[in-house]
A and B are shown apart, each in its own frame.
Chain A
Amino acid sequence: MKRSLLIIFKERAIEGTLLLCALSSIFITLSIVVILFYESFGFFKDIPLREFLTGTQWTPLFAQPKFGILPLVCGTLLVTGIAVLVALPIGLIVAVYLSEYASHRIREMAKPTLELLAAIPTVVYGYFALLFLTPILQQLIPDLSGFNALSPGIIIGIMIIPYVSSASEDSMRAVPMHIREGSYAMGATKFQTAFRVIIPSAFSGIAASFIIGISRAIGETMVVAIAAGMMPNLTLNPLKPVQTLTAYIVGVSLGDLPHGTLEYKTIFAAGITLFLMTLFLNILGFWFKRKIREVY
């Protein structure tokens, strides 16, 4: 009953095929890096890096083009900042509530519903920000312009709540029961246990979830493309229209975009900036996630 060579060969061939499929991830990452660098290479040949990084105006389509990325980065950070102010506190509170307070039934119902928040197409959120939230906010804040950073910021914040809450909750629930019991045995309430024992113990996981949330907010495109206005604006005023890196790419792509023009290259220059920002956050998040494994 010796296995025939054919069977051994078949097993090997299958393993090889599966490996090739797994290697596709490396191929994709490499392609992203190569394409971004290759296509923006021409851009950086024409535009000095110094001007790109420190210029305060981004007007590549004007007769007198200016190529300072700062307004786009600023717009991105402003919207992300607002989103973070919404998502991190609410996400953390929800996580503590679901992990430590909520009954099994509430948790089983709340988790999938919250996940739906992340599943809704972002273009629908864009509609909601522009045509529902902005008019309401304009009633409260008369200075608010029709396109602004505030409204998409808030909506993105709500959108990323599940990213923050779900991963934070998982890491809180991973804190072993005996650690909780140690705190309860001293007469602590749930609130004290959660904030003095559980959160510090689950810190790495919570930090990782925050970073994932921030990274999502930075990369979010359609909500800002629809509701933030398409104006590169070096401002930290949330009431004014801004343009983010992502919205710029979409805005340019909507028009006719001949291959190889400077216009074409600018979206890759914006893309590489965005990619590096999120890559940094992903690495940071990955580092925190690894720390979780070290704890238990």
Chain B
Amino acid sequence: MIIPEKLKAEVKNLSFYYHQIQAIKNIHLPIAENRITALIGPSGCGKTTYLRCFNRMHDLYPNNRYEGEIILYPDRLNIISPKVDPIEVRMRISMVFQKPNPFPKTIYENVAYGLRVRGENRRSFLNEKVEIALRQAALWDEVKDRLFDHAFNLSGGQQQRLCIARALATDPEILLFDEPTSALDPTATSKIEELIMQLKKDVTIIIVTHNMQQAARVSDYTAFMYLGEIIEFDKTDKIFTRPSKKLTEDYITGRFG
């Protein structure tokens, strides 16, 4: 397994259980800083489950159990340790979901929400942050005249970019994308992909996708998952041109999945 130049996080020996069922089996994976790491694999292979370990979403539901470590650099915090507050983890690692899920509030309040839960209520500061986040999410020009419109009035693609802005407003260290374009049309998809590539200069990105072309287009590193295990991890161009495992080759050439 290749080791990227600078690490933002490192997954060591991670296993995850729903009740007694093991969904993630002994995963090792380095996450490179300011790079995009893609997770690909057939549906049900555990890639979303794996992604949701990073911001402790599994803690919301009973009878879930983690084993192993996810070390977050630079402070070497094991973010899945029971001693670490999941809320602290979520404040450092943001997430964008499969379907756009804006709050039924105004555009402005959606973006400001993450700051508000941190106790931030200074108007000028919020204004500034909201604008920066919306610019980062390439949504500013489309919504700057209607920041106080209801978020549900936006199109699907705009809603998803709003969710990205919402996640960015709190300056997360890692941004998780869970199949962010699966509910969108091709035009909106390419906009989001472009955006993701631009974002990596500011933030480390992990993206789950079932769309192999998407992984090939946007990511620097790719991990291929199958039945809860990482089969192969490498630089993206290597995975898609010269995979070393037969299973990976079969999957990316469309023989199954």
Cα–Cα, bound, A2→B88 (Å):
7
A9 to chain B, nearest CB (A): 14
Within 8 Å of chain A (Cβ to Cβ): is B3?
no
- A2 — which chain B residues lie within 8 A by C-beta? 85, 88
Residue of A nearest to B118 (CB): A1
Cα–Cα, bound, A155→B113 (Å):
54
Cα–Cα, bound, A1→B120 (Å):
14
Cα–Cα, bound, A214→B87 (Å):
51
Cα–Cα, bound, A163→B12 (Å):
59
Within 8 Å of chain A (Cβ to Cβ): is B91?
yes
Q: For residues 86 through 100 of chain B, which have their beta carbon under 8 Å from a beta carbon of chain A?
A: 87-88, 91
A139 to chain B, nearest CB (A): 58
Q: For residues 66 through 90 of chain B, which have their beta carbon under 8 Å from a beta carbon of chain A?
A: 85, 87-88
Within 8 Å of chain B (Cβ to Cβ): is A178?
no
Cα–Cα, bound, A2→B91 (Å):
11
Cα–Cα, bound, A1→B171 (Å):
14
Within 8 Å of chain B (Cβ to Cβ): is A293?
no
**Chain B interface mostly:** helix
Cα–Cα, bound, A3→B117 (Å):
12
B171 to chain A, nearest CB (A): 12
A135 to chain B, nearest CB (A): 54
- A1 — which chain B residues lie within 8 A by C-beta? 88, 91
- A3 — which chain B residues lie within 8 A by C-beta? 85, 87-88
Q: For residues 1 through 39 of chain A, which have their beta carbon under 8 Å from a beta carbon of chain B?
A: 1-3
- B87 — which chain A residues lie within 8 A by C-beta? 3
Cα–Cα, bound, A63→B31 (Å):
93
Cα–Cα, bound, A3→B85 (Å):
8
Q: For residues 145 through 174 of chain A, which have their beta carbon under 8 Å from a beta carbon of chain B?
A: none
- B85 — which chain A residues lie within 8 A by C-beta? 2-3
A174 to chain B, nearest CB (A): 25
Residue of B nearest to A7 (CB): B87
Residue of A nearest to B87 (CB): A3
Residue of A nearest to B88 (CB): A1
Cα–Cα, bound, A2→B85 (Å):
8
- B88 — which chain A residues lie within 8 A by C-beta? 1-3
Cα–Cα, bound, A1→B84 (Å):
11
Cα–Cα, bound, A41→B91 (Å):
61
Cα–Cα, bound, A3→B87 (Å):
8
B55 to chain A, nearest CB (A): 14
Cα–Cα, bound, A3→B91 (Å):
11
A171 to chain B, nearest CB (A): 29
Q: For residues 84 through 100 of chain A, which have their beta carbon under 8 Å from a beta carbon of chain B?
A: none
A6 to chain B, nearest CB (A): 12
Residue of A nearest to B85 (CB): A3
- B91 — which chain A residues lie within 8 A by C-beta? 1
Cα–Cα, bound, A168→B59 (Å):
39
Cα–Cα, bound, A152→B85 (Å):
63
B62 to chain A, nearest CB (A): 15
Cα–Cα, bound, A1→B91 (Å):
9
Cα–Cα, bound, A45→B206 (Å):
76
A3 to chain B, nearest CB (A): 5
Cα–Cα, bound, A3→B86 (Å):
10
Cα–Cα, bound, A150→B66 (Å):
67
A164 to chain B, nearest CB (A): 36
B97 to chain A, nearest CB (A): 23
A15 to chain B, nearest CB (A): 15
Cα–Cα, bound, A67→B91 (Å):
71
Residue of A nearest to B91 (CB): A1
Cα–Cα, bound, A1→B85 (Å):
10
A12 to chain B, nearest CB (A): 14
Cα–Cα, bound, A3→B90 (Å):
12
Nearest first, the 4 A-B pairs at minimum CB distance are A3-B85, A1-B88, A1-B91, A3-B87
Q: List the interface of chain A (C-beta within 8 A of B).
A: 1-3
- Subset of 7 A-B contacts with CB under 8 Å: A1-B88, A1-B91, A2-B85, A2-B88, A3-B85, A3-B87, A3-B88
Q: List the interface of chain B (C-beta within 8 A of A).
A: 85, 87-88, 91
